[in-house]
């Protein structure tokens, strides 16, 4: 499939598709879901960061700051940042809220819940 064909299927410009390919940036959540459908792959495959799904990638894709997500979850920014950096597990009660916020299926957060805080040793996410 060419960039032009994919752009037509997604209702966006060829330049947008080119940007995603060359920079690794992801489209907005609603377009990301359509992209996964058009390509016939799960959304998780498009947004995986290394071995595991990244809250940072999802947040950046949604164009949100950590404090915005924390406000949506009704927790402190530091609490959200601890979870985003892998210092704490993602609480299952957050799954539906994060799903709506990021526009992805709640099931994607299961891999985050199982990720050990020690897995993320680079100090950032």
- List the one residue out of 51, 41, 42 whose CA is nearest residue 114: 51
Q: Residue 53, SS3?
A: strand
Domain 42-118 has CATH 1.10.260.40: yes
Domain edges within the chain: 42-118
Please report which confidence band the pLDDT of residue 119 belongs to, taking 50, 70 and 90 as the band edges: very low
Q: Report pLDDT digits (tens) over 66-110.
A: 999 999 999 999 999 999 888 888 899 999 999 999 888 888 787
Q: Is the pLDDT of residue 124 over 70?
A: no
75: three-class secondary structure by DSSP? coil
For residue 51, pLDDT over 50 is answered with no
């Amino acid at each position: 499939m060419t960039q032009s064909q994919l752009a037509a299927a997604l209702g966006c410009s060829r330049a947008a598709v080119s940007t995603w390919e060359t920079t690794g940036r992801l489209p907005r959540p609603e377009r990301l879901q359509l992209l996964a459908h058009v390509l016939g792959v799960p959304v998780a495959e498009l947004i995986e960061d290394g071995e595991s799904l990244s809250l940072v990638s999802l947040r950046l894709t949604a164009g949100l700051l950590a404090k915005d997500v924390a406000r949506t979850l009704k927790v402190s920014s530091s609490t959200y940042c601890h979870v985003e950096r892998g210092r704490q597990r993602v609480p299952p009660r957050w799954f539906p809220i994060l799903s709506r916020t990021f526009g992805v299926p709640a099931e994607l957060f299961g891999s985050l819940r199982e990720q050990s805080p020690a897995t993320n040793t680079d100090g950032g996410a």
